Each structure stands twice: as structure tokens, then as C-alpha cells.
Chain A
Amino acid sequence: MAIDIGKLDTFPKLLMHHARERASRPAIREKDLGIWQTRTWHEFAEEVRALACGLGGIGVTRGEHFALVSDNRPRLYAMMYAVQCLGGIPVPLYQDAVATEMAFPIQNAEIRFAFAEDQEQVDKLLEIMPQCPTLKHVVYDDPRGLRHYRQPALASYEDLLAKGRESLRRDPAFLETEIAKGRGSDTAAMLFTSGTTATPKGVALTHHALIDRAKVAAEMEDLGDRDVVLAYLPPAWVGQFIFSLAQPLVTGYCICCPESPETVMTDMREIGPTYYFAPPRVLEALLTQVSIRMEDASRLKRWLYRRFMAVAERAGGAILDGRPVSTLDRLLYFLGDIFIYGPLRNVLGMSRVRVAYTAGEAIGPDLFKFYRSIGINLKQLYGSTETSVFVCIQPDGQVKADTAGPPVPGVELKFTPERELLIRSPGLFKEYYKNPQATSEAKDAEGWFHTGDAGYFDPDGHLKIIDRVKDVGRLADGTLFAPKYLENKLKFFPYIKEAVCFGDGRDRVCAFINMDPDAVGNWAEKRNMPYSGYTDLASRDEVYDLVRDCIERVNRDLATEPEIANSQIHRFLILHKELDADDGELTRTRKVRRRFIGERFDALVAALYAGKDAVHVTAQVKYEDGRTGTFSADLKIRDARTFPPAAARKAA
């Protein structure tokens, strides 16, 4: 149960509260020298208090920004709390950022103080010091390799702590006053948005916003001081910040820091977290590992795995949701839990997981259902840095693969006519630091935050995000056309690597498909289908049938969603080449550049809409050595079956 906040309106006040209330309970653990070392709330708060006095001694003042570059370590968190004790504002930075990327936040917030985990981070900070004249003090944790550094800016954590202990003993009242001065409306932290497209923006979040959201979510999931979390994602990311700084303070649960990024899997098994977060790519990597290891297992084990996973697929999700399941399936699932699911959860380190979240990007329904079917309560949520994460969460029993769930208490949502999602919530950010223009663009006078995400509510009132608002168009009949949503649905099939959908301003949707050469090649081999290369394989009728089948399944899905039922894919072709970042067709982060592709292959788009069943293509190709050549082929165009909205609903 989350604690009653009352007068405890800042993180330092909450920390001192836990130090009194649950002094000997574990607050933070770290695996060091192969052993899990525990700090209790009392010990941890004592360290923070001394550290805060040390920081006061070197001149950290109220409202001061303090940069931190470190992996998840107890000392990182102690440092953040210590900064907050003095009314300062921690600014965690991504520890894998290159030096030049760190310069902007430090210049922007005129940062004077920084904390660095080790020599690597110290080197980066020293490198950018000439561009950042304000940066005067760097506190480092691990002294290894730093013995010969003579820069006056450097100070060790140990020294700071020792000096802080000294001054705490001399003047214990100083810190009490400083902590008492804190207000809930003060900025508690500033997190920089990644800013792939523009310069990063510093999102200022108040104690009140963070505490409110953390508490609401904790109450919803019934988190308490017996829960355990593994802190393994970058602390500069808002999710990790919430799970390992805000929520432990409203519930008193314990966070655990892995030994090193490479040992996360083993550490997780040892700790057995009860509350877990993972972005879809992590979940996918775990599943891949499981599949690979399963293929090497003995025949009996493989057979058991196949049989019981079929049972899990049928009954697992329903059992987790508390829906009715036949007695036979229940019995089989019980056996499966003994032989397969239980051991599997144990290998994944998820034996004790009560609540697991995923968010950040669209998750494939099969991937999502896999975890739920083996009894892991994986749920989706929606949120961003600007909203202190929690906007929507799927409550237990209302979990779906393709929504983000209903809004959590306190949040108001509405949509603009362009389908942009607007949010009003106590968790909203205070401002973009030193960027009033961006602030007023994102947050209007009535306090609505413009997310830039387009979506709608499904019939059960769950939020469904489909695309960025700037990419969403409309078909000629006014139906919403969200290309990324369709493309993602297509890409969840292993045979489809990329997809590009067209339809804005047109009467129907057509698509380019890029098949996945590995998956389709493998499929062809199993059928003894000879082929000479990518282009040859892509033009096979069998492959067209395979892809059409995928598209029709997507169409059937779309038919059940009234808002976008008309954006089913009518016609498609399989491209003769792989879309490539070198040709400008993808961004470096592998997102399709739809407009560019549409212009480059305008003849193909025209043929799709002209109703032809083949199109001749000549294209310039750039080889890897820089030479260019021409290529020509006939591409087939095929129709895909579409489904009337009402009929599909009946069938489903």
C-alpha cells in the first residue's frame, strides 16, 4: 500500500519518513564483488544526509541544476536525493551519450556541478569543459584510473561524504531547515527529451507531479514495501526515474542495482523482482533466447514445450484474466505450470513478478500474449516524460494486446478534430526549461498537453495510439488513415520486414511490402523452392500468397475497429529491393521515409491505384562500392480481400 502523503510533499521529506518508519527494511541493494550488499532505509538516509551537507559545503544552492552521469548505483541515487535535500534539481544524463551530446544540457541549464560514475564519464566531462564555462565541479565515484588526474574541478565521492559527515556533526540543524524549505511545487528533476529531430528540451517535473502519479499507479497495483525492483534501464529515462526514485519513496519498496549491464539476466534471477518494466525490444530479445535454447533441447523437452505452449496459448491469458476456462484446460495448464511455465519463468527471472509493464513502442500481439500465457502479468501503459509517465494503464483483467488501457485516476483525455490526444493531469510537467515558446506550444492556456500522438478510444474506453499526428491523413471518404499503425501491424508478421502504406486523400489504401529475406528464404527452403536471389524470391506467386495471407489477417483485424475499418489494404506489391538507409529510403534508426519512397517509386504507386496487375520498373541501383547500375523487372500487383466492418464483428 502506498503511504499517506500528508505533509510529505517532497522526495527528501519522504526519504526521512522511511528512515524513521522502516529503518531496518532494505532500501537499495547492489551486487558488489559477487555479493548483494544491502543498505537499509536508515543507512541510506544517513548517507544522503551527510552527502547533502558535503554538497552544501561546496556551494550547491536552491534551484541549482546538478548533472549526473552514471549507471544505476546506490551512490547515484544517494546523490540525487542529496541534491534534492538542498532544493537543487538533479539532471540525469544518458551514460552512453558521447561528450558532445552532454554539452547541450550543461550549457542550457548553466550547470556548475556534475557527478560522474567513473573515469570514462569524467573524461567526457573534462573534454567538454572548455565549451561549458559554467561547469566547475565534478564529483566522481570510482577512483580507478583517476589517481594522476590533477584537475582542480575533481573531487571524490568519498571525500565529499567524509567532509559532509563532519559538517553534519557540527551543524545538524542546517539540513533539517533545508529539507523543510522544500515545497511540492519545486522542480524535483529535469529530464532531457531525446530530441532526435530537434535540439533536446529539458522537461522540468515538480515533486508534486511525480509523487502524485507515482502514488496513483502504486495504489492501482497495490505496491508496498515488500516489493522489489531491478533498476537496469538508463536513469536518465523517465521510466527508470519513476520506478527507482519516485515509486520507492511513495511505497518504501527496495530497488536493486545489477553488477554490470552484462549481468542483468543473472542478477534478475537472483533478485526475483516483483515489479518489472521492459520495453518491447528487451522482451523480444528474451523470447528469442528462449526459442534458441529450446531448439537445442532434447526431443522430449521440445515436445513438452510445444504441447504445453499450445495449452498456454489457449488458456493462459484467460486464466490470468480470471475468465472462464474449461476444467480440462485448467488441469492441463496446472501440469504445464509444473513442467514448463514455472521453470521458464524462473529462467527469465520472473518467478515473483506480480506486475510487469511494457511501453515505448508498439508490441507485437504474439510477443505480448506469450508472456501473459505463461502467467506473467504483463500490461501496457501510456505516458511520456512530460506526463510523469502514468497516463493510461491496463488494469488487471482488462488487458489487451493492442491498447494502452483506460486513463488512470486524475487524468483527463480528449482528442482534437485532427485526432491529436490532449492530456490534463496532475502529473504534467512544469515547463520546458528556458524554452517558453515550446512550453506554450505543448501546453495550452487551459492546461491541456498536446502530445503529438494520434489515437482514439476503442469500444471499451481503452486508449489506442495509432501514429504521430503529423503523419495521420484521411482517405477520400474521411476515414482516418494512420500509416504507421497499419505498417506496424504488418511488420509483426515475421515474413514482412518493412511496409509502406499509401492512402492520404485517396479512395483506398495500397501498400508496398518488403519481405524479410531470412524468414521468407527459410520458409522457401523448407518447401524445397529454389530461387536465385532476393528479387527472384520476391516475385514468386507463392510468396505473394504468403504476404496476401498476412495482409488479409490485418484487414480482418481492422474490420473490427469502426474508426479505421475503411483503411483496410486493398492492393499491394512486393518491392524488388530492400529498403535501405543508404538509398535514403529509411532513416538511420530504420524508420520508413514514406514521402520520399512515394516520390521515388511514383510509377509504382500510380500503377497500384490504376488497377493494373503488373508494372514495369527500371531503377538505378547503387552498389556498395559506389558504382551504379540499372535494373529492370516486372512487378506483380495483387488484390487482397477486405472485410465489411459489420460482418467481421459477427465473425469475431
Chain B
Amino acid sequence: MSEVVLSVEGVSLSFGGVKALQDVSFDVRSKEVRAIIGPNGAGKSSMLNVLNGVYHPQKGRIRFKDRTFADMDSHEAAALGIARTFQNIALFKGMSVLDNIMTGRNLKMRCNILQQALWLGPAKREELEHRRAVEEIIDFLEIQHIRRTPVGRLPYGLQKRVELGRALAAEPELLLLDEPMAGMNLEEKQDMCRFVLDVNDHFGTTLVLIEHDMGVVMDISDRVVVLDYGRKIADGVPDEIKSDQRVIDAYLGVAH
């Protein structure tokens, strides 16, 4: 079993009186596909937002690669190799696919604005290097045909793929996917599943994903965390989760 890269220890988060997360602990092992599931309002997106520093928990700790944080800062998270995609796509609609993915390389650019503006030697070399990395992602995600298309003109399924591309451009060690398959049809979901698995396999990226489609979750994830009303109610491999009574109750409701 591979080493733990990320562990969440007793994290609690509340907004005023709303307790979004209560004492949640779980870990993510290197190169695994880890799913977070739960009914609406269970705290899944909050959990993801805590992981990449958008929200700051009141209690608990996060350990990432042997460093402990009381809370993360989103710049810090990105610099440490955590990238994410969003539930409701957050791309630059007027920019081309190529440029959007290029923005994912932002943190890797070393040249200053003057060098870039004057197109000096180092800036040129750097640009070439980044362009190559971006082209590899375009090839990987099979979106060559929309390279020059403004993102706003693309159908939803392709925009999701571009967003995944931008997250990959940062060459993350840990990739957080917030409902990567929401609103997709069956074929798009199958494509996306394949890309997610390929990312995991090809780049060795560790993946944490939130997903509603149980078929997808049970198919592609190695281990699953189940949240309900901000608490963790189950944690284990898909087969255990499927037969867990508390999970079934959380999804189907219980007679009172």
C-alpha cells in the first residue's frame, strides 16, 4: 500500500450557525483515486475548498507531504502542487482553449513581464517549453480540433475537458475535481471517466473527486469517503460502501 500524501485530521468548519464540516478525518494515498460522496449539502464542496485553501477551517489540521497546516492558502496550495476544477466551470470564456490551458502554466513561468513583452531569448525559450507542455495536454485530452476556438463557444462537455486540461497544465501532484461529470450525457461521462483514469495512470496524479453518479464513483475510485450533514459516516473501498447501512440510510432516508 502506497504512502499517505494528504491527511485531514479533525477538520471542522462553520459559517455562523451552519456547521458545514464537523470533525472530519480521512487520508489520501499517493496515486489513488479518492472519491468524496454524500447527499446534497453534505459538505463535499466545502471539504474540497478547505483542501485548496479557499475556506479556512476553525479546527483541525491538514498534512500534505509531511508539512502540517492549520489552514491552507490557495496560492500556497497551488505552489505545493494542488490543482482543481470547479463545479460550475471557471474558464476565461473569450479566450481560446490553448490560451486557457496556458494560464494553468502561470506558476511555472519564470520570466518577468519586461522579458516577455520584449520577447527576449529566455522568454522565447520558456514560451516554447510551455507551449509544448500545453500541446501534450491537448493531445492527451484529444481536443486538437478546438485548439483555437474561444471557450465560450464550446459545448459544456468540452468545456469541462478544457478545465481539466488547465488543471493538468500546472502538473499537479494532487488534483481536486469538483463534479467533473455533472450535467453530462452518458457518452461524455464515459469519455471523462477514461480521461480521469488516464490522468491517474499516465501522470501518476493523485485524484480527489466529488461525484454524484454512483455508477461512476464505484467504477473508478479506489476508496470512498461518505459525508452526511458535515460528518463522515463511512470510509472504505467501493464494495464496503455499497453495503454500508448508514450510507444507504443517508441516501434513501430512514423511517423515524
Q: Do A and B bind each other?
A: yes
Q: Residues of A at under 8 Å CB distance from B?
A: 32-35, 144-145, 147-148, 259-260, 262-263, 266
Q: Name which of B66-74, B108-116, B139-147 contacts chain A.
A: B139-147
Enumerate chain B residues within 8 angstroms of A33, measured Cβ to Cβ.
132, 135-136, 138-139
> Is there contact, CB below 8 Å, between B144 and A262?
yes
**B198 on interface, CB distance cutoff 8 Å:** yes
Q: In the complex, A148→B145 CA distance in Å?
A: 29
Per the bound structure, the CA–CA distance linking A22 and B34 in Å amounts to: 56
Nearest CB in chain A: distance from B104 CB, A: 16
Residues of B within 8 A of A34 (CB): 131, 135, 138, 144, 147
B135 touches A148 (CB 8 A): no
Minimum CB–CB distance for A625 against chain B, Å: 23
Q: Which of B135, B144, B202 contacts A144 (CB 8 A)?
A: B202
A148 to B200, CA, bound (A): 12
Asked whether B201 lies within 8 Å of A263 as measured between CB atoms, the reply is no
How close is A149's CB to chain B, nearest CB, in angstroms?
A: 11
Minimum CB–CB distance from B190 to chain A (whole Å) comes to 12
A contact residues around B135 at 8 Å (CB)? 33-35
Do A260 and B145 touch (CB < 8 A)?
yes
Known: A33-B135, A34-B135, A34-B138. A259 touches B198 (CB 8 A): no
Q: Which of A32, A144, A147, A263 meets B145, CB within 8 Å?
A: A263
- Contact A144–B142 (Cβ < 8 Å): no
Apart from A34-B135, A34-B147: 12 A-B pairs, beta carbons within 8 A: A32-B139, A33-B135, A33-B139, A34-B131, A34-B138, A144-B198, A145-B197, A145-B198, A145-B201, A147-B202, A259-B144, A260-B145
Are B144 and A263 touching (Cβ within 8 A)? Answer: yes
Q: What are the residues of chain B within 8 A of A260 when measuring CB–CB?
A: 142, 144-145
- In contact, B145 and A262 (Cβ under 8 angstroms): yes
Question: Measured between alpha carbons, how far is A147 from B197 in the docked complex, in Å?
Answer: 12
Nearest A residue to B147 via CB reads A34
Give the docked Cα–Cα distance between A35 and B136 (Å).
11
Measuring CB to CB, which residues of chain B are less than 8 angstroms from any residue of chain A?
131-132, 135-136, 138-140, 142, 144-145, 147, 194, 197-198, 201-202
Q: In the complex, what distance in Å separates the CA atom of A6 from the CA atom of B180?
A: 62
The closest CB in chain B to the CB of A31 belongs to: B144
Residues of B within 8 Å of A148, CB to CB, are: 201
**Bound form: Cα–Cα A321–B197 in Å:** 57
- Please, which residues of chain A bring their CB within 8 A of the CB of B142? 260
Cβ contacts A to B, 6 pairs, < 8 Å: A33-B132, A33-B135, A33-B138, A147-B202, A260-B145, A262-B144
Q: Which residues of B contact A32 (CB under 8 A)?
A: 139
Max chain B C-beta neighbours (<10 A), residue from A34, A262, A263: A34
Closest to A259 in B: B144
| Residue in A closest to B135 when the chains form the complex, CB atoms | A33
In the complex, chain B residues whose CB is within 8 Å of the CB of A35: 135
Question: How many Å lie between the Cα of A33 and that of B202 in the bound state?
Answer: 17
CA–CA, A259 and B145, complex, Å: 8
- By Cβ-Cβ distance, the 6 closest A-B pairs, closest first, are A262-B145, A33-B135, A34-B135, A263-B145, A259-B144, A260-B144
- Interchain nearest-CB distance for A186 vs B (Å): 38
Residues of A within 8 A of B147 (CB): 34
How far apart are B155's CB and chain A's nearest CB, in angstroms?
A: 13
Contacts of A262 in B (CB 8 A): 144-145
Residues from chain B with Cβ under 8 Å of A266 in the complex: 145
Q: Tell me how far the C-beta of B137 lies from the nearest C-beta in chain A, rounded to whole angstroms.
A: 10
CA distance A147 to B132 in the complex (A): 23
| Smallest beta-carbon distance A652→chain B, Å | 46
**What is the CB-to-nearest-CB distance from A95 to chain B, in angstroms, rounded to a whole number?**
15
Q: Across the interface, which residues of A come within 8 angstroms of B140, CB to CB?
A: 144
A263 to B146, CA, bound (A): 8
**Docked complex Cα distance between A34 and B148 (Å):** 11
Whether A147 touches B201, Cβ cut-off 8 Å, given contacts A33-B135, A34-B135, is: yes
List the A residue with the shortest CB-CB distance to B137: A33
Question: Which residues of chain A come closer than 8 Å to B131, judged between CB atoms?
Answer: 34
A148 to B31, CA, bound (A): 14
Taking the nearest CB of chain B, how far is it from the CB of A170, in angstroms?
34
Q: How far is the CA of A148 from the CA of B144 in the complex (A)?
A: 26
Name the distance in Å between A534's Cβ and chain B's nearest Cβ: 30
- Closest B residue to A120 using CB positions: B194
C-alpha gap A260/B136 in the complex (Å) = 14
How far, in angstroms, from A35 to B139 measured CA to CA in the complex?
12
Least CB distance from B254 to A in Å reads 40
From B139, B140, B144, B201, name the one whose CB has the most chain A CB atoms within 10 angstroms. Answer: B144
Nearest-Cβ distance from residue A547 to partner chain B, whole angstroms = 39
Complex contacts, B194 vs chain A, CB 8 Å: 145
Provide the bound-state CA to CA distance between A49 and B234, in Å: 59
A145 to B202, CA, bound (A): 7
In Å, the complex CA distance between A201 and B136 comes to: 41
A260–B202 Cα distance when bound, in Å, is 21
Rounded to whole angstroms, the CA-CA distance of A241 and B51 in the bound complex is: 55
Instruction: Please report the C-alpha to C-alpha distance between residue A121 and residue B119 in the assembled complex, in whole angstroms.
Output: 44
- Find the A residue at minimum CB distance from B145: A262
Give chain B nearest CB distance to A146 CB in angstroms.
9
Q: How far is the CA of A148 from the CA of B202 in the complex (A)?
A: 11
Q: Which residue of B lies closest to A143 (CB)?
A: B202
Q: How far is the CA of A148 from the CA of B201 in the complex (A)?
A: 9
* A292 → B minimal CB distance (Å): 16
In the docked arrangement, what's the CA distance between A34 and B139, Å?
Answer: 9
**Which residues of B sit under 8 angstroms from A145, Cβ to Cβ?**
194, 197-198, 201-202
Q: With both chains docked as a complex, state the minimum distance between the C-beta of B235 and any C-beta of chain A, in angstroms.
A: 26
Complex contacts, B197 vs chain A, CB 8 Å = 145
| CB closest residue in chain A, given B197 | A145
Who on chain A is nearest to B98 by CB? A34
Minimum distance in angstroms from A384 CB to a CB of chain B: 33
Q: Nearest-CB distance from A357 to chain B (Å)?
A: 26
What chain B residues lie within 8 Å of A144 (beta carbons)? Answer: 140, 198, 202
For B136, the chain A residues whose CB sits under 8 A away are 33
A145-B197 Cα distance, complex, nearest whole Å: 8
Docked CA distance A34–B132 (Å): 9
Complex: how many Å from CA A99 to CA B209?
A: 33
Residues of B within 8 A of A263 (CB): 144-145
Bound complex: CA A148 to CA B142 (Å): 21
A116 to chain B minimum Cβ distance, whole angstroms, is 17
User: Given the complex of chains A and B, what is the CA–CA distance between A145 and B145 in angstroms?
Assistant: 22
Who on chain B is nearest to A262 by CB?
B145
Please give, as numbers and ranges, the residues of chain A lying within 8 Å of B138 by CB-CB distance. 33-34
Closest to B202 in A: A144
Q: How far is the CB of B170 from chain A (nearest CB, A)?
A: 19
Which residues from A are CB-within-8-Å of B198? 144-145
The residue in chain A whose Cβ has the minimal distance to the Cβ of B146 is A262
- Distance in Å from the Cβ of B80 to the closest Cβ of chain A? 27
Q: How far is the CA of A260 from the CA of B138 in the complex (A)?
A: 12
Residues in A with CB closer than 8 Å to B132 are 33
Alpha-carbon distance between A35 and B135 when the two chains are bound, in angstroms: 9
Shortest CB–CB separation between residue A262 and chain B, in angstroms?
3
CA distance A147 to B131 in the complex (A): 26
A144 to B131, CA, bound (A): 21
CA distance in complex: A33, B138 (Å): 8
Which residues of A sit under 8 angstroms from B201, Cβ to Cβ? 145, 147-148
CA–CA, A527 and B254, complex, Å: 64
CA distance A378 to B198 in the complex (A): 44
A32 to B136: give the CA distance in the assembly, Å. 9
Return B14 CB to nearest CB of chain A, in Å: 43
Q: Chain A nearest CB: distance from B143 CB in Å?
A: 9
B196 to chain A, nearest CB (A): 12
Rounded to whole Å, the gap between the CB of A646 and the closest CB of chain B is 56
